[in-house]
């Protein structure tokens, strides 16, 4: 048995004998085989317009990428979003060729944005007609490689390293997403620790189930005690269960499409044979839970066959590579208070003759 601290609650992991699992569905308290409500793959992608402005500085006029290389990256970003949104969202990009700004290399985001958009207007673009504006520039000694507004103005600054990962991550912030984190078994949280999500530290993996729900791409049903079949997140959804401290999101990965980067059993030994569990409670970000706390690696976080996680309130058991059993306490309904009677008519002595 291994103890793990989850959001301040001690969780218990234990190995269970497969033969002892209640596989006889007549003995399960509630059996619902869920092929996680299929998401309708949209025929018409809602495409958002993006202007990418390639700029450098008076004292630093490098051009780290060609315009054609940037366009190739942009095509990958669009394909990535179309796939992981189930055909609901994508981007169309216009790219402004390299322009030199009348300023020395610096990390003043406001000045970079203002001068870049002035250069864009001179080049025949109308920045105000774009839903997102990306400023790509050579290294200016900043303490970051990418930065973005959280919604609102929908601006992105990329310091040298413009690729699928940086563009998809920062555009995710524009759409309103925070980071995807990891919680270690000792309870500490790594801000970018989720290696299985671009909003964490992955190069190209799908957003996790919670993030997709926030964007309206995934319909994630909240389930009660029962046994559930989980479809792959790359093409469908998953489930969530409610605990006293928050929500647990259960998803399954198969290596389809952009998730194929995990198709290396030596490096990611259990991602395709178990379930990734994310938790969203009072902490600002959703975080991935490490379901194998006895190992040092964080490349094997899945809940695998024969294992159960419990936080003292709920429990999740992996019955097979696509089926889980969950136990959720029954909710006691709050009794409806009786209305206070009101006298509608009384006699001169104050005795009520008619109540409501």
Q: What is the pLDDT of residues 32-66, one digit of tens each?
A: 333 333 333 344 568 999 999 999 999 999 999 99
186 and 228 both lie in a single domain: yes
| Torsions phi, psi for 257 (to 5 deg) | 60, -125
Final residue before a domain boundary, out of 174, 196, 215 = 174
Q: What is the pLDDT of residue 332?
A: 59
Are the CB atoms for 310 and 12 separated by under 8 Å?
yes
162 and 184 both lie in a single domain: no
Number of domains in the chain: 2
Q: What is the pLDDT of residue 220?
A: 98
For the chain, give the longest Cα–Cα distance: 96
160 and 204 both lie in a single domain: no
- In the three-class reduction of DSSP (H, G, I as helix; E, B as strand; rest coil), residue 144 is classed as coil
Tokens of 92: 């169309």
| Torsions phi, psi for 286 (to 5 deg) | -75, 150
265 and 305 both lie in a single domain: yes
pLDDT in tens, 125-135: 999 999 999 99
Lowest mean pLDDT among 26-35, 223-232, 308-317: 26-35
pLDDT in tens, 224-271: 999 999 999 999 999 999 999 999 999 999 999 999 999 999 999 999
Look up the domain containing 75 and give its range. Answer: 46-174
Q: What is the pLDDT of residue 15?
A: 36
- In the three-class reduction of DSSP (H, G, I as helix; E, B as strand; rest coil), residue 80 is classed as helix
Q: What is the pLDDT of residue 27?
A: 28
| Torsions phi, psi for 209 (to 5 deg) | -60, -40
184 and 279 both lie in a single domain: yes
- In this structure, is residue 346 part of a structural domain? no
Final residue before a domain boundary, out of 157, 174, 191 = 174
- In this structure, is residue 344 part of a structural domain? no
The better pLDDT of the pair 8, 48 is held by 48
Q: What is the pLDDT of residue 331?
A: 66
Task: Quickly count helices (H) and strands (E) in the chain.
Answer: 4, 20
Q: Where are the beta strands (DSSP E) in the chain?
A: 2-6, 9-15, 46-57, 89-101, 132-137, 146-148, 155-159, 181-183, 189-190, 226-229, 239-243, 246-251, 274-280, 287-289, 303-304, 307-310, 315-318, 323-327, 343-346, 352-355
- In this structure, is residue 323 part of a structural domain? yes
Are the CB atoms for 317 and 278 separated by under 8 Å?
no
Q: What is the pLDDT of residue 334?
A: 63
105 and 76 both lie in a single domain: yes
169 and 185 both lie in a single domain: no
Are the CB atoms for 277 and 289 separated by under 8 Å?
yes
Q: What is the pLDDT of residue 139?
A: 85
Q: What is the pLDDT of residue 104?
A: 96
* Percent of the chain topping pLDDT 70: 83
| Torsions phi, psi for 196 (to 5 deg) | -110, 30
Tell whether the model's pLDDT for residue 107 goes beyond 60: yes
pLDDT in tens, 171-193: 999 999 999 999 999 999 999 99
CATH of the domain at 65: 3.40.390.10
210 and 86 both lie in a single domain: no
167 and 185 both lie in a single domain: no
Q: pTM here?
A: 0.82
- C-beta atoms surrounding 43 within 10 Å: 6
- In this structure, is residue 231 part of a structural domain? yes
pLDDT-based confidence at 339, cuts 50/70/90? Answer: confident
The better pLDDT of the pair 27, 306 is held by 306
- C-beta atoms surrounding 181 within 10 Å: 23
- In this structure, is residue 339 part of a structural domain? no
- Measure Cα distances from 326 to 271, 301, 313, 329 in Å: 20, 18, 11, 10
Quote the mean pLDDT of the chain. Answer: 87
55 and 131 both lie in a single domain: yes
- In this structure, is residue 261 part of a structural domain? yes
pLDDT-based confidence at 30, cuts 50/70/90? Answer: very low
Q: What is the pLDDT of residue 28?
A: 28
80 and 140 both lie in a single domain: yes
Are the CB atoms for 132 and 174 separated by under 8 Å?
yes
Final residue before a domain boundary, out of 111, 141, 174 = 174
- In this structure, is residue 335 part of a structural domain? no
- In this structure, is residue 93 part of a structural domain? yes
Q: What is the pLDDT of residue 41?
A: 39
Tokens of 35: 């092929």
94 and 211 both lie in a single domain: no
Tokens of 7: 């959001």
């Amino acid at each position: 048995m291994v103890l793990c601290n989850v959001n301040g609650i001690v969780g218990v992991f234990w190995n269970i004998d497969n033969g002892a699992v209640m596989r006889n569905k007549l003995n399960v308290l509630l059996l619902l085989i869920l092929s996680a409500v299929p998401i309708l793959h949209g025929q018409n992608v809602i495409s958002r317009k993006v202007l990418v402005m390639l700029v450098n500085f008076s004292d630093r006029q490098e051009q780290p990428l060609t315009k054609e290389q940037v366009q190739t990256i942009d095509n990958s970003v669009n394909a990535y979003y179309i796939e992981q949104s189930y055909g609901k969202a994508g981007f169309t990009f216009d790219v402004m060729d390299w322009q030199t700004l009348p300023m020395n290399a610096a990390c003043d985001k406001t000045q970079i944005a203002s001068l870049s958009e002035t250069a864009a207007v001179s080049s025949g673009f109308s920045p105000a007609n774009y839903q997102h504006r990306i400023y790509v520039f050579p290294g200016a000694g900043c303490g970051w490689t990418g930065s973005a507004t959280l919604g609102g103005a929908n601006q992105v600054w990329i310091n040298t390293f413009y690729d699928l990962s940086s563009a998809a991550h920062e555009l995710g912030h524009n759409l309103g997403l925070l980071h995807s984190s990891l919680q270690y078994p000792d309870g500490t949280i790594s801000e970018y620790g989720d290696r299985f999500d671009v909003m964490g530290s992955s190069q190209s993996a799908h957003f996790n189930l919670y993030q997709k729900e926030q964007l309206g791409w995934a319909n994630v049903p909240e389930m009660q005690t029962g046994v559930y079949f989980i479809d792959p997140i790359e093409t469908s959804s998953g489930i969530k269960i409610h605990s006293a401290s928050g929500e647990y999101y259960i998803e399954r990965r198969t290596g389809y499409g952009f998730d194929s980067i995990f198709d290396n059993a030596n490096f990611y030994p259990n991602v395709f044979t178990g379930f990734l569990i994310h938790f969203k409670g009072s902490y600002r970000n959703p975080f991935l839970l490490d379901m194998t706390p006895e190992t040092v690696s964080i490349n094997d976080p899945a809940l695998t066959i024969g294992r159960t996680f419990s936080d003292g309130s709920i429990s999740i058991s992996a019955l097979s590579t696509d089926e889980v059993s969950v136990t959720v306490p029954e909710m006691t309904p709050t009794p409806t208070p009786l209305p206070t009677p009101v006298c509608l008519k009384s006699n001169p002595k104050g005795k009520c003759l008619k109540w409501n």
